[in-house]
């Protein structure tokens, strides 16, 4: 499980069962572990492992999470705010979230106890619905929007 986690892939109950059966095979036992064994293993090792629901993350977004780039962006943002004298009430936070039509939530995966979230890459081949919300530090907001798939018209 540790190796799977650190190479960036999720390990679920099925992977744990495969690992247990592989160990039994290598020690020469003609036995197999069950799904119940896997759940009990997670429970016995709850000081080290826990289960979380994985979240879909676009491959493009995954590539964008480079700490140095984020630090440079916010440094430049602060420089612009200071230079132009932009007030807090004139700064709005824009947040969007996408919902994939017809897709259920992520699967349960086994992660180390100190892990807070697990993301799995999404192939992005489904129709999306986007929700957009905007507000500032004074709780002034722009009405929320839902964006559906559209058509291009000349």
Percent of the chain scored above 70 by pLDDT?
71
Q: Which of 13, 21, 44 is nearest to 110 (CA)?
A: 13
Query: Which of 53, 59, 58, 66 lies closest to 10, judged by CA?
Result: 53
Instruction: Please report the pLDDT score of residue 101 as a whole number.
Output: 65
Higher pLDDT, 124 or 34: 34
- Distance in angstroms between the alpha carbons of the first and the last residue of the chain: 53
Cα distance between residue 33 and residue 64, in whole Å:
40
The pLDDT value recorded for residue 40 is: 92
Domain ranges of the chain: 2-147
Confidence band of 110 (pLDDT split at 50, 70, 90): confident
Q: Identify the residue with better confidence: 29 or 115.
A: 29
Which pLDDT value is given to residue 8? 59
Distances from the Cα of 93 to the Cαs of 37, 66, 139, in angstroms? Answer: 47, 21, 10
Query: How far, in Å, are 62, 95, 128 from residue 77 at the CA level?
Result: 22, 17, 30
What are the backbone dihedrals phi and psi of residue 27, each rounded to the nearest 5 degrees, phi first? Answer: -90, 5
- What pLDDT does residue 139 have? 81
DSSP β-bridge partners for residue 121: 57
- For the ranges 3-7, 19-23, 47-51, the one whose mean pLDDT is highest: 19-23
**Closest to 8 (Cα-Cα) out of 59, 50, 45, 46:** 59
Which has the higher per-residue pLDDT, 154 or 108? 108
Where residue 25 falls among pLDDT bands split at 50, 70, 90? very high
**Per-residue pLDDT tens digits for 58-108:** 666 667 778 888 899 999 999 999 999 999 888 888 877 766 665 555 667
């Amino acid at each position: 499980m540790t190796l799977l986690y650190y190479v960036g892939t999720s390990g679920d109950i099925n992977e744990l069962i495969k690992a247990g059966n592989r160990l039994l095979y290598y020690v020469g036992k003609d036995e197999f572990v069950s799904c119940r064994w896997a759940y009990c293993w997670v429970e016995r090792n709850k000081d080290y492992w826990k289960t979380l629901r994985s979240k879909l993350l676009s491959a493009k977004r995954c590539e964008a999470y480079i700490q140095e780039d984020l630090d440079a962006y916010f440094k430049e943002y602060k420089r612009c705010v200071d230079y132009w004298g932009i007030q807090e009430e004139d700064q709005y936070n824009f947040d969007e979230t996408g919902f994939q039509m017809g897709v259920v939530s992520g699967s349960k995966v086994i992660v180390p106890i100190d892990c807070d979230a697990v993301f799995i890459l999404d192939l992005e081949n489904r129709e999306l619905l986007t929700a957009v919300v905007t507000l500032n530090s004074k709780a002034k907001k722009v009405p929320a929007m839902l964006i559906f798939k559209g058509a291009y018209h000349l």
